[in-house]
Amino acid sequence: MRFHSPMSASTPTPAGPLVAVITGASSGLGEATARRLAREPHARLVLVARREERLRTLAADLTGLGATVTWVAADLTDDDAPTRVRDHVRAEHGAPTLLVNNAGAGFRARFGSERNGGFANHRKTFALNYDAVLRLTEALLPDLRAAAPSAIVNVASVAAHVARPGAGAYSASKAALAAWSEALRAEEAPHGVHVGTVKPGFFPTEGFPATELKEGRLSRLALGDQDDVAEAIVQCGLRGKDERITPRFYNAAIVLQGVLPQVIRRVVGSDRAQVLATKTVSDE
């Protein structure tokens, strides 16, 4: 893993009002979140993703907006990734005041019928969507407590409530993340660390192009906007909200899943619902 250090690691700088660590920051929702947070006064951002050239370009753009930006090029599933991110934040910014756990992937495969499905797909999905989140949070938690009031925002998904064929591993990982976030919120409240959960529905990004949805006249209506998700992250991370679902009309699907689950099962199990089995082309 490589990291860029515009300042000497031996001379940590005082933390400003906002020191935000954003994972999966090289594109999509992570990039949108970084751009939104860069508008906060005196923002200091740490961008984390695998693609260093993307991070370098984004950092230059955000620096032009007045933010102080560094980056860590890392695969968060690597054993040493959490400690290297933690050490970079300490050296360059002091203590973090916001952690946005956004990096994730949805490797589409049916459990028992595809070569890349089965347990191997679940293990690969959980390694990034769940295990990596817990490992990074564990590494940064002492510093987040020291910087309190501070916040953690975990990006789960509406799929945590409504599972689709071909996306069982993704839904399971996001359901685990959402449940863990609820427990962590209660555990960390006495320490001054707020934990928020954002649950997006479908929205197109490089990693989730949603081509199938964009091609359908009705299915296009299900698409949200990543800037709205970024704003939801700000509401949870900087405004103290516990949870945000976006677009808001996805609340109806979650309510139906709880009240009339057979209706949701009939919908997602139909032939027409195959359009919802969107493909993934990137894992950031």
Rounded average pLDDT over 234-254: 83
Residue 250 lies in a domain: yes
Q: State the pTM of this model.
A: 0.82
Query: What's the number of domains the chain is made of?
Result: 1
CATH of the domain at 196: 3.40.50.720
- At residue 274, the pLDDT reads 52
pLDDT digits (tens, 9 = 90+) for 118-176: 999 999 999 999 999 999 999 999 999 999 999 999 999 988 888 788 889 999 999 99
pLDDT digits (tens, 9 = 90+) for 45-62: 999 999 999 999 999 999
Known catalytic residues? 170
Residue 281 lies in a domain: no
CA distance 52 to 1: 10
CB 52, CB 73: distance < 8 Å: yes
- At residue 109, the pLDDT reads 87
Residue 66 lies in a domain: yes
Residue 85 lies in a domain: yes
- At residue 163, the pLDDT reads 78
| Confidence category of residue 106, pLDDT binned at 50, 70, 90 | confident
- At residue 143, the pLDDT reads 98
Nearest to 108 by CA among 24, 30, 32, 211: 211
Q: 145 vs 223, which has greater pLDDT?
A: 145
- At residue 55, the pLDDT reads 97
Rounded average pLDDT over 24-47: 96
Q: Tell me which residue range forms the domain holding 24.
A: 2-276
pLDDT digits (tens, 9 = 90+) for 189-208: 999 999 999 999 866 565 55
Residue 284 lies in a domain: no
- At residue 60, the pLDDT reads 96
Residue 218 lies in a domain: yes
Residue 63 has pLDDT above 80, yes or no: yes
Residue 282 lies in a domain: no
Residue 84 lies in a domain: yes
% residues pLDDT > 90 (the chain): 62
